[in-house]
Amino acid sequence: MSDATPAATLSDVVALLDRRYPPETAESWDAVGTVCGDPDQPVRRVLLAVDATAAVADEALAWGADLLWTHHPLLLRPVHGVAATTAKGAVVHRLVRGGCALHVTHTNADAPDGGVPDALAEALGVVDRAPLVPRPTEPLDKVVVMVPEEDADRLVDALAAAGAGELGEYTRCAWTTTGIGTFVPGDRANPAIGERGAVTRVPEARVEMVAPRRLRADVVAALRAAHPYEEPAFDVLELAAFPGRAGGGRVGDLAEPTTLGAFAERVARVLPPTAQGVRVAGPADAEVRRVAVVGGSGDSFFDAVRRSGADVYVTGDLRHHPALELRERARFEAARAGGEPDGGRPFLVDVAHSASEWPWLRRAAAALVDDLAGIGARVETRVSTVRTDPWTFQVPSPTTGGHP
């Protein structure tokens, strides 16, 4: 990147990240956002990693990164200081001295469209994806207002400035049609059009715009201020809530059915190698097509996985008791239904925690480049090559002996 290339500031980058991964959607126990860094510092190089370990910080500084963007928080539990005499404090000091900021998007990157579970599902070849646990869309109003035709554009502008008319990546969205409005101003009225006591007919536009319910007061105030009438005619309709494209985990289908064994091999090929490898619960020759995934630790999603009808569930950090109970229940129900005792679904594919979240890094890096291009800035990104999974090797159990 040449020195003449426009560079965004850290505050520019954070604003774009907050738009894609709203901090308010993070879990209450989480710690997301900027850990260290000057909002005015230029950002030309961004290193992405799952964890902010000392080795990752060294990689960021050696490359000349201005920002280290991680998925997992460095300081998840509250601290009263970051002295360099502690392991985590030393990382913060190293980054600050090197002029590298640190920013975290954790559970706020788990739910959005294009977040961690989407990237994992995409990497595994899962199509027609939907949230495993959908979040309802934000409560919306529809504002319907009648206004003289010549004032319609000005009114739409005012409502849009107050936050109405936003649909995904589109703003100032409105629908209009025309008709004739009629009214009789009263004796104490001060009409902008017409005379007291006389029937008035005006060519009017009907304007409809949606707005977040939380902005209702602002939108109505903007409507009254911009409308030429003393008493504008309008309705505010509360719209029904529907499941959105955001939510925990993802579920979808493989393009073609395969066996559980072949699918597990696909998981092992796609994800970074770890000492744990890929653990599987279920018969290798069972046919699977519908797949549920959750990045990170996912045994709290078992009920949703069962409701989804998934044949196999891919996640990390599966604990003994929840996994055993799920498989025993699946075997029991399959046997009662007359199927094979070991054929109960869902089957389980357990991977290392960090490995399940790693595919998102490349996708997030590409999205940041696109978002910055939208504001006329460029950035160079790199996904860390440092392995942060804590396990270093595995000793396979012997195939014979050692068990009563």
Number of residues written out for the chain: 404
Indicate whether 58 pLDDT > 70. Answer: yes
What percent of the chain shows pLDDT beyond 90? 87
Scanning 132-187, the segments in alpha helix (DSSP H) are 152-161
Calpha distance 182→200 (Å, rounded) = 5
* Same-domain pairing of 15 and 98: yes
Calpha distance 71→32 (Å, rounded) = 9
pLDDT digits (tens, 9 = 90+) for 247-285: 999 999 999 999 999 999 999 999 999 999 999 999 999
Specify the pLDDT at position 340.
67
Domain containing residue 202: CATH number: 3.30.70.120
Specify the pLDDT at position 404.
56
* Same-domain pairing of 131 and 258: yes
Range of the structural domain that residue 352 is part of: 116-135+247-356
Calpha distance 174→171 (Å, rounded) = 9
Calpha distance 175→173 (Å, rounded) = 7
Q: Is residue 314 part of a domain?
A: yes
Across 106-136, b (16+ Cβ under 10 Å) vs e yields bbbbbbbebbbbbbbbbbbbbeebebbbbee
pLDDT digits (tens, 9 = 90+) for 166-198: 998 899 999 999 999 999 999 999 998 999 999
What percent of the chain shows pLDDT beyond 70? 97
Averaged confidence pLDDT in the chain: 94
Cβ distance 159 to 223 under 8 Å? yes
Cβ distance 109 to 360 under 8 Å? yes
* Same-domain pairing of 352 and 253: yes
Specify the pLDDT at position 336.
85
pTM of the model: 0.83
Calpha distance 65→290 (Å, rounded) = 40
Calpha distance 78→76 (Å, rounded) = 7
Domain containing residue 306: CATH number: 3.40.1390.30
What is the number of structural domains in the chain? Answer: 3
Query: Kind of pairing, strands 279-281 and 347-351?
Result: antiparallel
> Pick from 315, 340, 356: which residue ends a domain?
356
* Same-domain pairing of 51 and 75: yes
AA letter at 361: L
**Residues in Cβ contact with 19 at an 8 Å cutoff, skipping those fewer than 6 apart:** 371
* Same-domain pairing of 362 and 349: no
* Same-domain pairing of 174 and 263: no
pLDDT digits (tens, 9 = 90+) for 60-104: 999 999 999 999 999 998 888 899 999 999 999 999 999 999 999
* Same-domain pairing of 259 and 227: no
> Pick from 202, 217, 238: which residue ends a domain?
238
Cβ distance 293 to 249 under 8 Å? yes
Calpha distance 94→50 (Å, rounded) = 18
* Same-domain pairing of 52 and 190: no
> Pick from 221, 238, 255: which residue ends a domain?
238
Of the candidate ranges 130-139, 224-233, 336-345, the one whose mean pLDDT is the lowest: 336-345
* Same-domain pairing of 17 and 93: yes
Specify the pLDDT at position 168.
81
pLDDT digits (tens, 9 = 90+) for 108-122: 999 999 999 999 999
Indicate whether 6 pLDDT > 80. Answer: no
Peptide bond into 346 cis (omega under 30): yes
Q: Is residue 389 part of a domain?
A: no
Q: Is residue 222 part of a domain?
A: yes
* pLDDT band for position 331 (cuts 50, 70, 90): confident
Q: Measure Cα distances from 35 to 38, 70, 103, 379, 385 in Å.
A: 10, 11, 6, 20, 22
Q: Is residue 229 part of a domain?
A: yes
* Same-domain pairing of 81 and 129: no
